[in-house]
């Protein structure tokens, strides 16, 4: 006896998924090579924290390693532990540093802690006293007021003749708070302070620039650059065209196409009233999937500041979100598309090559970083390598 399932044709899960995410690994590798060229004489690393900005640390990490990256940055030791299998000969820096109970993870996976406070330094010195020499990095705050020793603390440490000989940082790093704004005075102020610190640690490699800093020119490159968002296709610098190739394409299935009459309202709260007879496409995506509620066409406070909500791309045209985005569904106005151009089951592009990530993010009053790292668990993922695009 059979339940009939053996007679069903094999179905590609990606082709059947309500939500799908395509990660263009060829574009990712090309973006890294582009940023490496822009980094000049500096080596170029890769930031793969937050699951490679939501796109998958395993596939992205391996792609970047094969492209030539040998310095990686993660936020947590667990991310470094995962990455080690895909980047066997790389240096993996953990930006949150090391805390009591994490020693085995660091040593077993050969991770480099980035020390950012006097408390972490004191703990690390005690670890070295028991274990002996082991590489670390030192983060210095030059004006961000987030993580790092103060400039004075870093300079005092450099001149402290009583520090253990086993304490020898392999990297000094800082972070620009306005690297995306090329004319910001803060960039030059931070550069001057970082030069003081790096000079005090003569012979130790230095790193100041993330994605945005790379575009500020060679004065900011030092020994190592550490791009993040630009690798994944996001805009790193304001006031210039984004030269990066898009890496991520998010799409949602159209569940239903419905007719609605002028004067009727759309979605929760009835905040959008139709001015004409309309066709509406209901897509299987909502804020549970990282398609943020602030992208709604109406009914959210942000629309008083940023009048237009998000658009999707369907049948060769941009189509607007109307009404409020809900947990699992979003409504697009497709009235202006030819009647037979779309059908239930088609996919609408949420962001990708036709709907720039940062353009969509701006409609939500946010940045591409947040859209990527907010991607939910319901996307069926597909990675495309060289020759598959």
- Each residue's pLDDT tens digit, 126-148: 999 999 999 999 999 999 999 99
Determine the straight-line distance between the first and last CA of the chain, rounded to whole angstroms: 44
- Cβ neighbours for 306, distance < 8 A, ≥ 6 positions apart: 362, 363, 365
d(CA 348, CA 332) in angstroms, rounded, equals 10
Please tell me whether residue 234 adopts helix, strand or coil conformation: coil
pLDDT of residue 99: 92
Q: Which of 65, 134, 268, 291 is catalytic?
A: 268
3-state DSSP assignment of residue 40 = coil
Say which residue the tokens 């069903």 belong to. 8
d(CA 310, CA 22): 20
* Nearest alpha-carbon partner for 90 in 41, 52, 123, 44: 44
For the chain, the average pLDDT equals 95
**Is residue 385 over pLDDT 90?**
no
Segment 194-218 shows an average pLDDT of 97
Lowest-pLDDT range, 8-12, 54-58, 270-274, 367-371? 8-12
273 strand-pairing partners: 265
The more confidently predicted of residues 207 and 387 is: 207
pLDDT of residue 228: 98
The rounded distance, in Å, linking the Cα atoms of 121 and 136 is: 10
Q: The tokens 């390693």 sit on which residue? A: 65
Residue 1 pLDDT: 47
Give me the sign of the Cα torsion angle 99, 102, 103, 108.
negative
User: How far apart, in whole angstroms, are the C-alpha atoms of residue 331 and residue 338?
Assistant: 18
Give all domains of the chain, ordered by start, each with its CATH number: 39-232 (3.20.20.10), 248-384 (2.40.37.10)
Structure tokens at 363: 């409609």
Which pLDDT score is estimated for 142? 98
pTM value is 0.94
pLDDT band at 83 (very low <50, low <70, confident <90, very high): very high
347 is catalytic: no
Residue 389: per-residue pLDDT = 54
The pLDDT > 70 percentage for the chain reads: 97
* Tens of pLDDT, residues 289-321: 999 999 999 999 999 998 899 999 999 999 999
Whether the pLDDT of residue 367 is over 50: the answer is yes
pLDDT attached to residue 73 = 98
Mean pLDDT of 73-86: 98
For the segment 370-374, the average pLDDT, to the nearest whole number, is 97
- 291 has catalytic annotation: no
Position 154 pLDDT exceeds 50: yes
């Amino acid at each position: 006896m059979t339940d009939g399932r053996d007679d069903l044709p094999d179905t590609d899960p990606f082709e059947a998924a309500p939500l799908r995410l395509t990660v263009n690994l060829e574009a990712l590798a090309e973006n890294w090579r582009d940023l490496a060229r822009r980094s000049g004489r500096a080596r170029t690393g890769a930031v793969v924290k937050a699951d490679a900005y939501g796109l998958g640390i395993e596939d992205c990490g391996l792609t970047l390693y094969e492209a030539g990256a040998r310095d990686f940055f993660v936020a947590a030791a667990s991310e470094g532990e995962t990455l080690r299998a895909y980047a066997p000969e790389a240096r993996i820096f953990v930006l949150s540093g090391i805390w009591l109970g994490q020693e085995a993870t660091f040593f077993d996976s050969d991770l480099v802690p980035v020390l950012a406070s006097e408390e972490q330094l004191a703990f690390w010195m005690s670890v070295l006293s028991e274990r002996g020499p082991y590489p670390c990095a030192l983060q210095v705050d030059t004006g961000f007021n987030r993580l790092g020793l103060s400039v004075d603390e870093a300079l005092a440490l450099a001149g402290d003749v009583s520090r253990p000989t086993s304490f020898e940082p392999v990297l000094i790093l800082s972070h620009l708070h306005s690297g995306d704004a090329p004319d910001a005075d803060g960039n030059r102020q931070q550069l001057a302070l970082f030069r003081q610190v790096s000079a005090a640690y003569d012979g130790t490699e230095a790193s100041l620039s993330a994605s945005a800093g790379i575009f500020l020119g060679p004065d900011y490159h030092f020994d190592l650059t550490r791009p993040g968002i630009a690798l994944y296709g996001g805009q790193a610098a304001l006031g210039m065209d984004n030269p990066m190739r898009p890496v991520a394409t998010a799409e949602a299935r159209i569940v239903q196409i419905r007719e609605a009459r002028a004067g009727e309202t759309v979605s929760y709260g009835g905040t959008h009233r139709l001015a004409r007879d309309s066709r509406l496409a209901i897509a299987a995506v909502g804020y549970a999937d990282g398609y943020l509620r602030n992208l709604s066409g109406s009914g959210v406070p942000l629309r008083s500041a940023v009048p237009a909500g998000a658009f999707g791309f369907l049948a060769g045209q941009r189509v607007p979100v109307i009404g409020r985005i809900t947990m699992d569904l979003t409504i697009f106005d497709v009235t202006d598309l030819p009647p037979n151009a779309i059908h239930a089951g088609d996919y609408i592009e949420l962001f990708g090559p036709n709907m720039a990530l940062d353009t969509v993010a701006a409609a939500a009053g946010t940045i591409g970083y947040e859209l990527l790292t907010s991607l939910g668990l319901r996307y069926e993922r597909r990675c495309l390598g060289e020759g598959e695009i």
